[in-house]
Amino acid sequence: MALDGAFLHFIKMEIASHIGARIDKIHQPSREEIIITLRGKGYSDKLLLSAGADSPRVHFTQESFENPKTPPMFCMLLRKHLGCGKLSDVRQIGMDRVLELDFESMNEFGDRVTLTLVVEIMGRHSNIVLVNQDGRIIDAIKRIDEEMSRVRQILPGMEYRHLPQQDKLNLLSAEREEVLFRLKAGKAEDLSKALVRVFQGVSPVLAREIAGYATRYRDISTAELTDDITDRLFFFCGRIRKMLEENHSEPTIAMEHNGKPKEFSFLDLKQYGHYLVTQPVENCSQLLDRFYAERDRMDRMRQRSNDLLKLLMNLSERAERKIATQTEELKNCADREKLKIYGDLINASLYQIKKGDNKAVLQNYYAEDAALVEIPLEPGLTPVQNAQKYYKEYRKAATAEKLLIGFIEQAKEELIYLESVFDAVSRTNGESELLEIRQELAEQGYLKNYKNRNKILKAQPPLRFLSSDGYTILCGRNNKQNDKLTLKDAKNYDMWLHVHNMPGSHVIICAQGAEIPNRTIEEACIIAAYNSKARDSAQVPVDYTLIKNVKKPSGAKPGMVIFVDYRTAYVMPDEQKVKQLLDLAGK
């Protein structure tokens, strides 16, 4: 993540626009998070301060937080010292990830004092410290004693000392000659890594963006710097400096193709190309708010779906083992004709065999050369009984073959179904969708102890898109939605689409009796490809036909259909196009 000193500069400026605002409320929703509500003329904004090891940050937030019934001690202390106080100043220590927020308030004697809330964003060493006007620590959200750190303690009554400054250059004031000297000092290294080493407040993401512009996205070491690369490097640094000085940012969030936030920056990111999807955001606080809220939501979804994914993997492995075992048994049944021949040969040669023999060498009249064949016998049985034994084994093998063919087909169908559910779970974007899938699995007998098996869930609507030609396109989110969409909602003249021979959503083009344009069919194919297991493939085959050609076999599992008279188109899943068509429907 790229909450570096340069990014924090823009957060500082957002907070600075609230100077003069009074503290309305202070809450501590979790052990390492503080929410301060600042009220000014015409606004009331929540400022989030987090010292969490995995997400330390400070920004304004629109998110709602559940607060404990009993406020933690640090929250009570902040209310005591800062309650009704006024924000009077905000400072950043150089380009470091440290903000100091000054608040004017009244002490217990009625005297006006200035207290400073210091936010240190340093990974697992992040902290929020309240300091009085004499520079003494009142308290901190994390107390650091000598056992935890011999270098720097954070305890009430101690003098607050800033974090030790690294020997790095300030991006706002560094001279070209000094920068070049430091870049070339020591061993040759990747240019982006050298930029992180040289500049204060520059994260690897920002460094890669600077280096990428300078080198035209080639891998260049500090030993390979040319005048052209150097000129482009300082031009881009000058652009960043101007953005910082003029408080002009281009907040950008970079996401994986499944929508999970990956990186962010205060400037438009070019380094990821098509590997990540970038989106602009209005301001830096909104960016952080969205980034962490979406990341946390997806993490929670992953945790809640982990049990389902594990169950589906176990069930799939069991089905695969069953198919392998029964296929091997089926191979054994393929030799059953030999058993009937043995019985026939014994019956035709009863005079040559007597009870007690353990084998019989007989002429095989079924073979072209009528060669001799050795037939094993049960010594305790008569020749007739041995013949009957082989006939019985033949009939048993024939019956087993029929049963095994059916069992293998059932197991294969189950495997296809489980893969479709796995695909739906992996593409789930909401708790309601996950509940629908859980209920589906419970109804199919896979979740034995599911409490909400008979609970009637509110039906979730399918995804709705609007084609460039104005046609509504609907897309199921899971097997139950697919069945409803295809078998109940769609009309005979509507068009049905599905990725070829892979798990995926059912997609419907609502034709409304008109002939569907090729462009709309292509867009619907892209939607079907994107909402399938083939989402990350380059060229995806998608089958399409009229709804009247789609049927559900009796007893088939949810989402399973058969279809005839279809065509196949090859498309590339295009996330941007899918989102564009989704946005058109929203408008």
Structural domain ending residue among the three candidates 123, 140, 157: 140
Residue 66 lies in a domain: yes
Give the separation between CA 94 and CA 88, rounded to whole angstroms. 19
Judgement on whether residues 319 and 447 belong to the same structural domain of the protein: yes
Give the separation between CA 10 and CA 17, rounded to whole angstroms. 11
Look at residue 456 in the predicted model and tell me its pLDDT: 61
Give the separation between CA 249 and CA 253, rounded to whole angstroms. 13
Look at residue 141 in the predicted model and tell me its pLDDT: 96
Task: Tell me how far CA of residue 427 lies from CA of 260, 337, 503, 534, 581, in angstroms.
Answer: 11, 50, 11, 12, 18
Structural domain ending residue among the three candidates 258, 289, 320: 289
Judgement on whether residues 274 and 191 belong to the same structural domain of the protein: yes
Judgement on whether residues 440 and 477 belong to the same structural domain of the protein: no
Sheet containing 495-499: order of strands:
463-466, 472-475, 507-509, 495-499, 540-546, 567-571
Look at residue 440 in the predicted model and tell me its pLDDT: 86
Judgement on whether residues 76 and 99 belong to the same structural domain of the protein: yes
CA nearest 210: which of 228, 242, 233? Answer: 233
Task: Tell me how far CA of residue 568 lies from CA of 16, 430, 496, 573, in angstroms.
Answer: 58, 31, 12, 15
Residue 295 lies in a domain: no
Judgement on whether residues 479 and 441 belong to the same structural domain of the protein: no
Residue 159 lies in a domain: no
Residue 294 lies in a domain: no
SS3 149: coil
Residue 93: give the domain boundaries: 5-140
**Domains identified in the chain, total number:** 4
Structural domain ending residue among the three candidates 458, 479, 497: 458
- 469 φ/ψ sector (left φ>0, alpha ψ -120 to 50, else beta): alpha
Give the separation between CA 391 and CA 379, rounded to whole angstroms. 17
Give the separation between CA 85 and CA 5, rounded to whole angstroms. 27
Judgement on whether residues 58 and 183 belong to the same structural domain of the protein: no
Look at residue 451 in the predicted model and tell me its pLDDT: 63
CA nearest 206: which of 117, 309, 282, 95? Answer: 95
- The structure tokens listed for 192 are 């982006």
CATH number of the domain within which 21 lies: 2.30.310.10
Look at residue 331 in the predicted model and tell me its pLDDT: 82
Judgement on whether residues 375 and 442 belong to the same structural domain of the protein: yes
Judgement on whether residues 9 and 129 belong to the same structural domain of the protein: yes
User: Which class for 298: exposed (0-12), middle (13-18), buried (19 or more C-beta within 10 A)?
Assistant: middle
Look at residue 303 in the predicted model and tell me its pLDDT: 76
**Helical segments of 161-283, H only:** 176-184, 191-198, 204-215, 227-245
Judgement on whether residues 454 and 468 belong to the same structural domain of the protein: no
Please spell the DSSP secondary structure of 391-402, one letter per residue: HHHHHHHHHHHH
Look at residue 457 in the predicted model and tell me its pLDDT: 64
CATH number of the domain within which 233 lies: 1.10.8
Residue 400 lies in a domain: yes
Judgement on whether residues 443 and 476 belong to the same structural domain of the protein: no
Please check whether residue 573 is in contact with residue 530, taking contact to mean a CB–CB distance below 8 angstroms. yes
CA atoms within 13 A on the CB side of 49: 28
Residues with Cβ < 8 Å from 402, sequence gap 6 or more?
none
The structure's pTM equals 0.63
- For tokens 């492995």, the residue is 317
Residue 156 lies in a domain: no
Q: Which residues pair with 473 in a beta bridge?
A: 465, 509
Judgement on whether residues 513 and 443 belong to the same structural domain of the protein: no
Residue 225 lies in a domain: yes
Judgement on whether residues 190 and 102 belong to the same structural domain of the protein: no
Handedness of CA 139, 140, 142, 148 (dihedral sign): negative
Going from the first residue of the chain to its last (587 residues), give the mean pLDDT of each consecutive group of 10, the final group possibly shorter: 87 97 95 95 94 92 89 95 94 93 89 94 93 95 90 92 87 91 89 93 93 90 92 94 94 83 92 86 94 82 80 90 88 79 85 88 83 89 90 87 87 89 82 83 81 64 93 94 94 95 95 92 96 89 96 92 96 89 82
Residue 375 lies in a domain: yes
